[in-house]
Amino acid sequence: MLRFELLSREGRTDQTLREMGDYLMYMVERTGTLWENQQDHASLNHGFASHAVVTLYRDVLGAHEIDLVNKRVTVRLNPTALPACSGKLPVGDDFISLAWRQDSDTVSLFAEMPVGFTLQVENNTGKTLNRVDTPDALVSGEK
């Protein structure tokens, strides 16, 4: 998991996805869960595996930082070959919903947050950022 953190620091989303698949999928395919060690006779249900989800939400979805004290969400969009991504993160009794879709020159972002939260977007894709008001607009291509 340390390697994923190093790739994250460099914004290497596609490489992170490839290596996560190489490193983790055989565990899932074999036992349906992630292991703390590389042998399947070890304990098969440890919290380390949750870090894979943290990595996906932070580096692929873009939920880079959620500051609950100051009610601020920082979305960092990094270059990736994925055409789209979406997810929800629990915040108390509410959720932060994020979704993005990209084409060759534009990345469209939908973000919905609890009342009182602010959004900061860091667009590292090199593409034009288009904020949309509904997740349906990502499918229909509305502006």
Question: pTM for this one?
Answer: 0.81
Domain residue ranges of the chain, discontinuous segments joined by +: 1-61, 62-143
Residue ranges, the chain, pLDDT below 70: 1, 36-48, 140-143
79-114 pLDDT tens trace: 999 999 999 999 999 999 999 999 999 999 999 999
**Distance in angstroms (rounded) separating the CA atoms of residues 107 and 93:** 29
DSSP string computed for 1-58: -HHHHHHHHTT-HHHHHHHHHHHHHHHHHHHSS--SSSSTTS-S--GGGHHHHHHIII
Tokens of 99: 């979704």
Tokens of 109: 């972002």
pLDDT of residue 113: 96
pLDDT of residue 111: 98
Looking at the domain that runs over 62-143, which CATH code has it been given? 2.60.420.10
Tell me which amino acid residue 142 is. E
pLDDT of residue 29: 86
What percent of the chain is modeled with pLDDT above 90? 55
